[in-house]
């Protein structure tokens, strides 16, 4: 039986400080376990965080306080990075290049000025981003996934005040991305974002139980919510769109992608979808139904449970 919105929100809140296991692609073809088995360290400065994240040993890194800077932090494989209550990266972003098995949980990353809030590229795989808050990128986007990266889940996170939110796939010429870029987005809150929530090229995406909202004070361009391009397949399921004046869901680019499940979503005060290709027949094969809630319950559950605590 699908979980109620109240139960899902309560579970999200109580597990925000624990690690748990991902749902979706981050749990396929192996499991994303992060720094499990490694030592636990607490960091409170940019230098300490760079040293811990750049270690080649498995490690659980607890981030304390507000860390400022204007550079990217390289994260090596087998890491769990957890933000303690009230912690924040203000300026620095996380870089994951050709690495694997990383969990980022309960982190607030704002004003990223030298990289995206999180950059995932160069065949990086098995990444789980959970209960994080991303706001106001200065450099470019919030969470970008490119260059044959794979098996990624982004869950219960809040994205706000961004023009370019979450790009998956580097561009129309990145044909080596075919067969990669498998991503799951679930129970995320996209507030006042213009586009790319996500935009997916070549790969395969499952986007379920996310809440997309433009407030009355927001002045968007045309934009869009979810976009499929370059033959990508996206299954959208039980999402809720409110006030999206551009297309909530679109197929775009010189070679469009494919969308399925658009009829399961709720659209309130939105423009029409712009889907110009036949419906995608792809469906996820992993277990997730126990966490799937009705689209009508998404706004209350996601607003209560998404983001860092």
Q: What is the 3-state secondary structure (H, E, C) of 91-144?
A: CCEEEEECCEEEEEECCEEECCCCCCCEEEECCCEEEEEECCEEECCCCCCCEE
Q: Between these two residues, 221 and 137, which has the higher pLDDT value?
A: 137
pLDDT at 220: 59
Structure confidence at residue 273 (pLDDT): 96
Question: Please, which pLDDT band fits residue 185 given cuts at 50, 70 and 90?
Answer: very high
Give the model's confidence band at 12: pLDDT under 50 very low, under 70 low, under 90 confident, else very high: very low
Query: What is the CA angle 124-127-129, rounded to 5?
Result: 135
Pair 148, 101: CB distance under 8 Å: no
DSSP H helices, the chain, are 5-14, 46-53, 298-305
pLDDT band at 6 (very low <50, low <70, confident <90, very high): very low
Cα gap 159→279, rounded to integer Å: 28
Q: What angle do CA 168, 97, 156 make, to 5 degrees?
A: 50
Which region holds residue 169: left if phi is over 0, alpha if psi is between -120 and 50, else beta? left
pLDDT at res. 218 = 63
Residue 283 among the catalytic residues: no
Which of the four pLDDT bands, split at 50, 70 and 90, describes residue 17?
very low
Mean pLDDT of the chain: 93
pLDDT at 9: 44
Which one of the listed residues 123, 182, 196, 229 is annotated catalytic? 196
pLDDT confidence bin for 5, thresholds 50/70/90: very low
Q: How many CB atoms lie within 10 A of CB 278?
A: 10
Global pTM value: 0.93
3-state SS assignment for residue 12: helix
């Amino acid at each position: 039986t699908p979980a109620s919105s109240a139960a899902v929100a309560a579970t999200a809140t109580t597990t925000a400080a624990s690690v748990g296991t991902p749902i979706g692609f981050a749990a396929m073809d192996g499991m994303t376990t992060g720094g499990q088995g490694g030592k636990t360290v607490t960091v409170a400065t940019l230098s300490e965080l760079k040293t811990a994240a750049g270690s080649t040993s498995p490690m659980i890194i607890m981030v304390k306080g507000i860390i400022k800077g204007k550079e990217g932090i390289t994260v090596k494989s087998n890491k769990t990075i957890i933000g303690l209550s009230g912690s924040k990266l203000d300026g620095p972003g996380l870089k994951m290049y050709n690495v694997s098995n990383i969990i980022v949980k309960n982190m607030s990353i704002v004003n990223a000025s030298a990289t995206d809030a999180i950059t995932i590229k160069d065949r990086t795989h098995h990444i789980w981003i959970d209960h994080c808050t991303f706001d106001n990128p200065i450099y470019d986007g919030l969470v970008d996934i490119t260059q044959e990266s794979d098996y990624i889940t982004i869950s219960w996170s809040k994205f706000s005040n961004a023009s370019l939110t979450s790009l998956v796939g580097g561009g129309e010429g990145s044909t080596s991305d075919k067969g990669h870029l498998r991503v799951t987005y679930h129970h995320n809150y996209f507030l006042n974002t213009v586009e790319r929530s996500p935009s997916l090229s070549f790969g395969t995406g499952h986007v379920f139980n996310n809440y997309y909202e433009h407030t009355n004070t927001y002045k968007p361009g045309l934009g869009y919510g979810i976009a499929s391009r370059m033959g990508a397949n996206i299954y959208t399921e039980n999402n809720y769109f409110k006030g999206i004046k551009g297309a909530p869901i679109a197929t775009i680019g010189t070679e469009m992608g494919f969308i399925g499940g658009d009829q399961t979503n709720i659209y309130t005060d939105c423009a029409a979808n712009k889907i110009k290709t036949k419906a995608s027949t792809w469906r996820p094969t992993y277990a997730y139904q126990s966490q799937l809630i009705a689209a009508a319950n998404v706004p209350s559950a996601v607003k209560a449970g998404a983001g860092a605590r």
